[in-house]
């Protein structure tokens, strides 16, 4: 009997794309990443805590608190509270995840709160269409939201 131990970070080959989410708008980034996943690309997202959601800080937090009140804590629906799971759930919402094609696409996605040691030497790209500089109003980072809704 052979036991293989795999690291959490998958091996990065030429088909794997590393995207730095720092300063990217969550919804725009999620839609672009979902399309690329459906096209067969493997994607690793780093710095998920630095992605942003547009809107006034207090109103975004209030909406998240109201959303978390829906359901039963043990029976569900279960709501994400960590930055990487919030980003992953946003991307899943833009995939047909109940179909075999969508399930395979979702399995090609990895999301990390910061940059893992194994990926620090690899070049990371950004998505210019989702840059926070396109916003004219206020915004809040996913890390701040996660910190405020933990309790």
Report yes or no on 1 lying in a domain. Answer: no
Report yes or no on 48 lying in a domain. Answer: yes
pLDDT higher than threshold 60 for residue 5: no
Assign 76 a pLDDT band (cuts: 50, 70, 90): confident
Quick: pLDDT tens for 13-57.
Answer: 668 999 999 999 999 999 999 999 999 999 999 999 999 999 999
User: Is this model's pTM higher than 0.85 or not?
Assistant: yes
Instruction: Express the helix, strand and coil content of the chain in percent, nearest 5 each.
Output: 40, 15, 40
**Side-chain half-sphere of 78: how many Cα atoms within 13 Å?**
6
> What is the predicted pLDDT for the residue at 94?
96
Q: What are the φ and ψ backbone dihedral angles of 127, each rounded to 5 degrees?
A: -110, 105
Report yes or no on 90 lying in a domain. Answer: yes
- Could you tell me the CATH number of the domain that includes residue 59? 3.90.1180.10
Report yes or no on 11 lying in a domain. Answer: no
Look up the domain containing 35 and give its range.
16-149
CA dist., res. 53 & res. 45, Å (int): 16
Report yes or no on 2 lying in a domain. Answer: no
Report yes or no on 38 lying in a domain. Answer: yes
Domains contained in the chain, number: 1
> What is the predicted pLDDT for the residue at 37?
97
The tokens describing 145, both together, are 């939201």
C-alpha 60: how far from chain center: 17
pLDDT higher than threshold 70 for residue 151: no
Report yes or no on 102 lying in a domain. Answer: yes
Report yes or no on 3 lying in a domain. Answer: no
């Amino acid at each position: 009997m052979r036991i293989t131990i795999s690291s959490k970070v998958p091996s990065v080959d030429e088909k794997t794309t590393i995207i730095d989410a720092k300063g990217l708008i969550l919804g725009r980034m999620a839609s672009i990443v979902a399309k690329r996943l459906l096209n067969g690309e493997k994607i690793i997202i780093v710095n998920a805590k630095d992605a942003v959601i547009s809107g006034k800080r207090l109103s975004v937090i209030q909406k998240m608190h109201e959303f978390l009140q829906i359901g039963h804590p043990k029976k569900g629906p279960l709501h994400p509270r960590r930055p990487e799971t919030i980003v992953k759930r946003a991307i899943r919402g833009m995939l047909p995840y109940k179909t075999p094609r969508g399930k395979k696409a979702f399995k090609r996605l990895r999301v990390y709160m910061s940059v893992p040691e194994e990926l620090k030497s690899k070049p990371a790209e950004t998505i210019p269409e989702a840059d926070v500089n396109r916003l004219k109003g206020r915004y809040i980072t996913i890390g701040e939201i996660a910190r405020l809704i933990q309790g």
